[in-house]
Chains A and B, each alone.
Chain A
């Protein structure tokens, strides 16, 4: 198993992410509109989308925005919502370690849920080209920026994406990626543990901790499943 990053692979990643990117534009638009309403300037809104590039944490930051911005709360919230990236990155490590260090850490700047899920599926199929991660990430970043810009410029538009079912797209996408991976019944136990732990964490633990708790619990449960003697690949 090795890994490489090249232009054709990256372009193919962009192409494969194009359909979902259209929906990302809508989310970006919603963020742009919401940010202006919270008192951010157009420039600040665009800068946040460009540099942070993590929708859920950006929306959460808007809740903290005001005459005074509480720095510690901002850091804690951003970290809690984005901490799932830590686990996603760790899961791709067996693949990314074959890349030169610079490429490895540059690729991670565009890591997000959707391109990670598709890249993890590629890795699982034995694909050596990490273009899906980078190309897919670039496509989402670009769509996120276009959407934010449209929101900033037009200032209105789709303010209730719920009505059109747009809010469930990401859930459906991630579910399709999860089920589309290699069928492996030994994952039923860890995944069930993950589901229950996430729900328990949501009920009893601090806000935004449920993804980390569920993922770690699922990982620990995976240690209980008797390993097959041959090499197994990631199941996402």
Chain B
């Protein structure tokens, strides 16, 4: 099924996207409010929470270029030492920028 790229078609597409996206935002809470939370469910949720981030970050590190890898490494290093997010993120960005300028020279 296709929508024509008229104003109405485009607006429909945007509203449909918005509805689908809100469904994902609210859906997890909606489902959980119908699941009794026992110790098992709680352990699942706790492990899953960090795993979401791991699953987002790992492919960036593995499939990313040298700059992305260096940035993540710098962030991890500074974070482990200082335990402050802002210097850690700054270290990551600066590393990536320096790497790209260095490589493109």
Contacts and interface: CB of A to CB of B under 8 A. Distances in A.
Given A67-B4, A84-B52, A111 B25 contact: yes
A174 B53 contact: yes
A82 B20 contact: yes
Contact of A113 (B5, B56, B75, B86): B56
A158 interface: no
A89 B26 contact: yes
A168 interface: yes
A211 B56 CA distance: 6
B79 A78 contact: no
Contact of A173 (B51, B83, B89, B94): B89
A225 interface: yes
Interface residues of B, number: 77
Given A51-B14, A120-B49, A179-B76, A210 B59 contact: yes
Given A44-B14, A94-B42, A169 B25 contact: no
A52 B18 contact: yes
Contact of A91 (B52, B59, B79, B89): B52
A162 B100 contact: yes
Nearest to B51: A218
Contacts of A213: 55
Contacts of B1: 70-72
Interface majority SS on A: helix, strand, loop or mixed? helix
Contact of B58 (A39, A68, A195, A222): A195
A206 interface: no
A221 B48 CA distance: 9
A194 B55 contact: yes
A205 interface: no
A85 B25 contact: yes
Which of B25, B75, B94, B96 has the most CB atoms of chain A within a 10 A radius of its CB?
Answer: B25
B93 A165 contact: yes
Interface string B20-48: 11111111110111000101101111111
B29 A90 contact: yes
